[in-house]
Amino acid sequence: TQSTRPQRLLHAVQKNATRGDPRSVVKAIDNFCRQKEWAMNVGDEKGCILDSVVSEVNPVTVLELGTYCGYSTVRIASLLPPRAKIITLEFNPDYAKIARQVIAWAGLEDKIQVVEGPSGEWIPKMKEQFGVKTFDLVFLDHWKDRYLPDTKLLEDCGLLRKGTILLADNVICPGTPDYLEYVRNSPRYKSQYFKSHLEYTKAEDGLEKSVFLG
Ligand SMILES: Cc1cc(C(=O)N2CCN(C)CC2)sc1-c1cc(O)c2nc[nH]c(=O)c2c1
Ligand SMILES: [Mg+2]
Instruction: Measure the CA dihedral 57/116/145/102, to 10°.
Output: 60
Catalytically active residues are: 141, 144, 169-170, 199
Report whether 208 contacts 186 (CB < 8 A): no
- Hey, whose CA ends up nearest to atom 26 of ligand 1? 40
Ligand 1 close to Cβ of residue 194 (< 6 A):
no
Distance (angstroms) between ligand 2 centre and the Cα of 83 equals 27
Give strand pairing partners of 89: 65, 115
Distance (angstroms) between ligand 2 centre and the Cα of 116 equals 18
Ligand 1 close to Cβ of residue 197 (< 6 A):
no
Q: For every one of its 214 residues, what pLDDT tens digit does the chain have, with 9 covering 90 and above?
A: 789 999 999 999 999 999 999 999 999 999 999 999 999 999 999 999 999 999 999 999 999 999 999 999 999 999 999 899 999 999 999 999 999 999 999 999 999 999 999 999 999 999 999 999 999 999 999 999 999 999 999 999 999 999 999 999 999 999 999 999 999 999 999 999 999 999 999 999 999 999 999 9
Give strand pairing partners of 137: 62, 165
Angle (nearest 5°) at CA 66 between 185 and 91: 120
- pLDDT tens digits, 14-34: 999 999 999 999 999 999 999
**What is the pLDDT at residue 111?**
98
Please state the pTM of the whole predicted model.
0.98
DSSP alpha helix (H) spans, 71-176: 71-77, 93-106, 119-122, 126-130, 147-156
> What DSSP designation does 2 have?
P
Residues with Cβ within 8 Å of 103's Cβ and at least 6 positions away in sequence, in order, are 70, 73, 74, 77, 109, 112, 114
